[in-house]
Amino acid sequence: MTLTKFAAHEKEAIKNYYDTYGYVVVQNLLNYTKIQALLASYEKIKHSNLFIFFSQDTHLPIRPKLTPEGFIENSMLNPASLKLWRGFSQSVENCLVDENVIDVLSFLSGGSNHIMMQNMFFDKSTGTIEHQDHYYLDSNPPGKMVAVWYALEDIHEDAGCFFVLPGSHQGKVIERDNASNFSDHDTFVKSINALINEGGYKYRSFPLSKRDVLFWHPYTIHGAYNNCDPRFSRKSLTAHYYPAHLKPMYATNG
């Protein structure tokens, strides 16, 4: 199935598509030179014995463990904040806050300035179960956060693609019972699966091309498939932003 992708200047069409389906892909949005700089600094640090990062999937600080093909399997939480590895973290930040990406973000969220709540880096990486980001983080009032997925290479179908359930942002939203922890996470997983069955939503997989960027709504159900072929990585970044005139949801002092 061909994917619908927009050019950056098609602002109205981008906004309409996002409002209707809960996500939108903008083609060739990310600067090629910035991607190359990021990949070059990543190649250097991933072989260093001194390099430690916070793993998003295990919630632990770890050293890189490379697959035989040379990919790190664990996803990295907040790579843009690795202060001791400034070359790498700065190149991540340069991609994340690329002016073309921020421009699209602004007309999707309606805000002129944004706060980045978190960012992630994926190389080979494990799959991600179906979820709505709202359960973990959002703006307050809710529904105004925008999440962004940046393709740093051509993503193969078997690499463990990011997926979205189009239109699912218009259905029910699963709330966290307890704002300060995730103790009801098992219930959340069951509720999301029930929601998918009830809503009859379909899965759409995104084997995006290098430089493509996908934006999605905090209520949209999404995740990533497991890798099916160890030869393929899925080098990508994600970040979540809320308009600066709003507050973050679930923040204890917010």
Ligand X SMILES: O=C(O)CCC(=O)C(=O)O
Strand pairing class (76-77; 204-206): unpaired
Least separation in angstroms between residue 9's CB and ligand X is 26
Candidate residues 117, 120, 165, 249; the one interacting with ligand X per rule CB under 6 A: 120
Count other C-beta atoms under 10 Å from residue 109's C-beta: 20
Least separation in angstroms between residue 50's CB and ligand X is 27
Q: Among Fe ion, ligand X, none, what does residue 249 contact (CB within 5–8 Å per kind)?
A: none
Which CB, 112 or 157, lies closer to ligand X?
157
Select from 25-33, 85-93, 111-119, 128-136 the region that touches Fe ion (CB under 5 A): 128-136
Count other C-beta atoms under 10 Å from residue 40's C-beta: 12
What phi, psi does 130 have (nearest 5°)?
Answer: -60, 135
Q: Does 74 bind ligand X (CB under 6 A)?
A: no
The conformational region for residue 75 under phi > 0 = left, psi -120 to 50 = alpha, else beta, is: beta
Sign of the C-alpha dihedral computed for residues 65, 69, 73 and 75 taken in this order: positive
What distance in Å separates the CA atoms of residue 61 and residue 54, rounded to the nearest whole number? 4
- Grouping H, G, I as helix, E, B as strand and the rest as coil, residue 184 is coil
Q: Does 130 bind Fe ion (CB under 5 A)?
A: no
Candidate residues 88, 162, 163, 188; the one interacting with ligand X per rule CB under 6 A: 162
Q: Does 29 bind ligand X (CB under 6 A)?
A: no
Candidate residues 147, 152, 246, 249; the one interacting with ligand X per rule CB under 6 A: 147
Select from 33-41, 120-128, 186-194, 205-213 the region that touches ligand X (CB under 6 A): 120-128
Angle between helix 11-21 and 99-109 (nearest 10): 60
Contact string (CB under 6 A) for ligand X, positions 207-226, x = contact = ---------------x-x--
Q: Torsion angle, CA of 228/234/237/241, rounded to 10 degrees?
A: -40
Q: Among ligand X, Fe ion, none, what does residue 238 contact (CB within 5–8 Å per kind)?
A: ligand X
Q: Which residues bind ligand X (CB under 6 A)?
A: 120, 122, 128, 133, 147, 162, 222, 224, 238
